[in-house]
């Protein structure tokens, strides 16, 4: 981690511009998208910070497309991101975990060459109890012809992401992103109102200390998953036991494991045979970041970033984190099949 003096700070804007200058052919559009997202993140952070004070908590009466009860802050974060991004002329469309369909760019604005997919406030059922929540985003290059986005622009495998990242609203607000040249973290200085480079070129340890999984599903797991979890816990005598840490907010669990090493797993279970988490809004962006930090991610059999999406709100199992720990998942799940 770099230590900054008051005069040597690197703002996210400066960093994005410096990264862009490494690509002479860059148009600046992607940089603009990232900068707009950083602004949206600051706006969401300020609301999340005040959530305990403001009368904004609580479930709305509507259910979102995933059938979960939405919290008001989810809706607010969704709105903030759409409004921050729709008029820039850089996007051809957006897709949100909170919306059933593709979100078109309003007719009065220009469209651009990129598609943005996001989960506006992941872990929102934790808001009421002051547990960290996060925003996750993924940027894809438009591949269809014509000015507007087609479903095919959204349904690209994760390897096609040109940028991805997340924001964690925790004890401090951090934004971590990658454009394919490493994963870099920025911490929001609340006094300056700026994201400052705090974690350049994050590297996840080869093997980790932490296992993040919801044990309550053990009875609903298939035997290969149970065998894998026994391995991580050191119960089969083949490795040292990992420490179990599960917040129930994927960004928070992922972030801790990215910095400290470990694996986050959401295996299929009898209740969610296809997994629970969303391929496009959650798993692909975090898999991209993890690989950029030297880690790995699979869906149980396949590299996560190579899975071909077939629908916008597709769910998938996931095992993501330290490369050595993900390799163990490949080995044990493969053997037990």
Residue 95 neighbours by CB under 8 Å, 6+ apart: 101, 102, 103, 115, 116, 117, 118, 154, 280, 281, 312
250 vs 263, beta carbon nearer ligand AFP: 250
Q: What residue has token string 């979100």?
A: 103
112 vs 158, beta carbon nearer ligand AFP: 158
- Binding map of ligand AFP across residues 189-228, x = CB under 6 A, - = no contact: -------------------------x--------------
In degrees to the nearest 10, what's the CA dihedral of 34, 171, 263, 162?
Answer: 0
Among 211, 250, 263, 304, binds ligand AFP (CB under 6 A): 250
16 vs 251, beta carbon nearer ligand AFP: 251
User: Per-residue DSSP letters for 100-123?
Assistant: SS-EEPPTTS---SEEEEEEEEET
Q: Is residue 249 at the binding interface for ligand AFP, with CB under 6 A as the rule?
A: yes
120 vs 261, beta carbon nearer ligand AFP: 120
111 vs 322, beta carbon nearer ligand AFP: 322
277 vs 279, beta carbon nearer ligand AFP: 277
- Binding map of ligand AFP across residues 118-147, x = CB under 6 A, - = no contact: ----xxxxx---------------------
- Where helices occur in the chain by DSSP H, the ranges are 12-20, 29-49, 72-85, 151-154, 223-232, 250-260, 284-292, 323-336
State CA 259 to chain mean position distance: 15
203 vs 313, beta carbon nearer ligand AFP: 313
Q: Which of residues 145-164 bind ligand AFP (CB under 6 A)?
A: none
In degrees to the nearest 10, what's the CA dihedral of 266, 154, 94, 179?
Answer: 70
Long-range contacts formed by 311-315: CB under 8 A, 24+ apart: 311/155, 312/95, 312/101, 312/102, 312/151, 312/154, 312/155, 312/280, 313/65, 313/66, 313/97, 313/100, 313/278, 313/280, 314/278, 314/279, 314/280, 315/272, 315/274, 315/275, 315/276, 315/277, 315/278, 315/279
Q: How far is the CB of 151 from ligand AFP (least distance, A)?
A: 23
Q: Is residue 37 at the binding interface for ligand AFP, with CB under 6 A as the rule?
A: no
Among 248, 273, 274, 334, binds ligand AFP (CB under 6 A): 248
52 vs 334, beta carbon nearer ligand AFP: 52
**Residue count of the chain:** 337
Q: How far is the CB of 189 from ligand AFP (least distance, A)?
A: 26
Among 13, 68, 128, 189, binds ligand AFP (CB under 6 A): 68
Q: How far is the CB of 223 from ligand AFP (least distance, A)?
A: 20
Q: Is residue 96 at the binding interface for ligand AFP, with CB under 6 A as the rule?
A: no
| Residues binding ligand AFP (CB under 6 A) | 68, 122-126, 214, 248-250, 276-277
């Amino acid at each position: 981690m770099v230590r900054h003096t008051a005069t040597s700070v690197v703002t996210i804007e400066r960093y994005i511009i410096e990264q862009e200058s490494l690509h002479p052919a860059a148009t600046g559009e992607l940089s603009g998208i990232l900068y707009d997202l950083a602004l949206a993140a600051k706006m969401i952070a300020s609301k999340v910070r005040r959530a305990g004070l403001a009368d904004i908590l609580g479930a709305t009466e509507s259910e979102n497309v995933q059938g979960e009860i939405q919290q008001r802050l989810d809706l607010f974060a969704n709105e903030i991101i759409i409004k921050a991004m729709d008029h820039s002329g850089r996007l051809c469309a957006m897709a949100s975990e909170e919306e059933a369909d593709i979100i078109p760019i309003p007719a009065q604005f220009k469209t651009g060459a990129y598609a943005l997919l996001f989960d506006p406030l992941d872990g929102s059922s934790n808001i009421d109890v002051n547990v960290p929540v996060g925003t996750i985003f993924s940027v894809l290059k438009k591949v269809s012809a014509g000015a507007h986005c087609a479903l095919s622009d959204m349904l690209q495998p994760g390897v096609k992401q040109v940028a991805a990242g997340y924001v964690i609203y925790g004890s401090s607000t951090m934004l971590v992103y990658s454009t394919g040249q490493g994963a870099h973290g920025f911490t929001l200085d609340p006094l300056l109102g700026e994201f400052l480079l705090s974690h350049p070129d994050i590297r996840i340890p080869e093997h980790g200390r932490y296992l993040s999984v919801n044990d309550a599903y053990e009875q609903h797991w298939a035997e290969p998953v149970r065998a894998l979890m026994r391995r991580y816990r050191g119960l089969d005598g083949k490795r040292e036991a990992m420490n179990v840490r599960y917040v129930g907010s994927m960004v928070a669990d992922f972030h801790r494991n990215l910095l400290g090493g470990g694996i986050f797993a959401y295996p299929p279970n009898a209740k969610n045979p296809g997994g629970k988490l969303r391929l496009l809004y959650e798993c692909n962006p975090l898999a991209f970041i993890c690989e950029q930090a030297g880690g790995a991610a699979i869906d149980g059999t396949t590299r996560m970033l190579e899975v071909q999406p077939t629908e916008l709100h597709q769910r998938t199992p996931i095992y993501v984190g330290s490369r050595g720990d993900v390799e163990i998942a490949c080995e044990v799940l493969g053997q037990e099949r």
